[in-house]
Amino acid sequence: MQGEPAKVEIIQNKLYWISDRNPPVKKGCHYFSVDSRLSYSPFASDFGPLDLSHITKFCTELASLMQNPKLQSHKIFHYTSLNPSKKVNSAFLMGSYMILVLSKTSTEIIDIFSQVTTFTNYCDASQEKSDFELPFFECLKGLEKAIKLNWYNLGTFDLRSYETGSIIENGGYNWIIPGKIIAFMCPANDFKGRDGIKPLTPEQYVPIFQHLLVSTIVRLNKATYESDRFTRHGFKFHDMYFIDGSVPSDKIVREFIKVVEEDGAIAVHCKAGLGRTATLIGCYVMKHYGFTALEFIGWSRICRPGSVLGPQQQFLIDIQEVCWKWGEDFRNGITEMEECKELPQHEHLSEADKFKAKYGDYKQAEKLCVAEGENRRDIVKVHSSANVKGKTVKKTAFSKNK
């Protein structure tokens, strides 16, 4: 179902965001669209948010258009169709530009867009879609906090490394907190691969993690390889298994946070490196950086699409105040985390998610791995529209002056 046309003035008499059946055709206007080029690769019925590579390319390109001497007298329109998923992703990109380049706050952006139109909410990457929804404004809030913490900088972001590292055959890893926490998929036991993909073996990960100054590995899924394939190279190793698609116990949450609080960078994986992995990372981020659950879910998916699944979304909401309290205690010198005896997550879940929270989601990880393999292999085939330093800018697939 398509929405109604909408137009938002971003910079008075200069820059506009527009959603319509067709782009504006007026003299003195330059319109461009990225709908067909900067697109999301779904795992299931999910459709966003777009990731750090898309944000970098879009902002670099739009900044170049704004500085182009030939367009100084033109009004610039970022055009998107009325398709709900294209529309919300387009608005997310413009919102990212407004934060990164125009120094607008997420609150200002919410006010500007909400006065003009409405947007569909993002959903998770589960094969059976959860009832949980994520507004794109929450993703902007997460991005905004990450920028303030210098987790992402448009001018210094290494686009090539991000895209290359995201490919499964190159490691399938992403920094969630640069320099501190990496999420990656389960290493293969041998070189045969699985589910039609070929993850790296522990031995192949060793030089990568040594280069990235990782000191500790945490495994959240069942053991499929010997831990000494990492420890013999000097890495610390921790097993914290819980069922695929389920939520962690209080004991595991506190154990994980204590490990991350040690010196050095940590690399965390479950099977796909999306659900269990991002959920525990979220608890640490909420404790030490004050993110809300929704802000973290948004940020984690911007870094690593598909992160946090099914009942894990509501779990993070239910445990966020506990994590904030732990953080407050930590900053006051209390390092021991008080035991969290009960969380009310089952009260807010659908019957299907209640089941998953307790018993997991059978073969969810295998399905995600297959989808991720198909998606990530395509990334290196797509030419960057702009390099990280903004030295070259490629024209959009749909860009025209009038």
Q: 398-401 and 29-33: which strand pairing?
A: antiparallel
Helix (H) or strand (E) holding 77: strand 75-80
> Which amino acid appears at position 89 of this protein?
N
Within 8 A by CB and 6+ apart from 135, the residues are 119, 121, 122, 294
Rounded distance between C-alpha atoms, residue 219 and residue 9, angstroms: 48
Rounded distance between C-alpha atoms, residue 89 and residue 103, angstroms: 20
Q: Which residues pair with 173 in a beta bridge?
A: 184
Rounded distance between C-alpha atoms, residue 183 and residue 270, angstroms: 9
Given 29, 59, 270, 340, which residue is catalytic?
270
Residue 312: name the closest of 285, 281, 339 by CA: 281
Catalytic status, residue 270: yes
Tokens coding 94: 């413009």
Residue 120 CA: distances (Å) to CA of 11, 82, 133, 137, 175: 25, 11, 9, 11, 28
CB-based contact 225:202 (threshold 8 Å): yes
Residue 88: name the closest of 124, 114, 126, 106 by CA: 114
Tokens coding 325: 């309290």
> Which amino acid appears at position 35 of this protein?
D
Active-site amino acid positions: 270
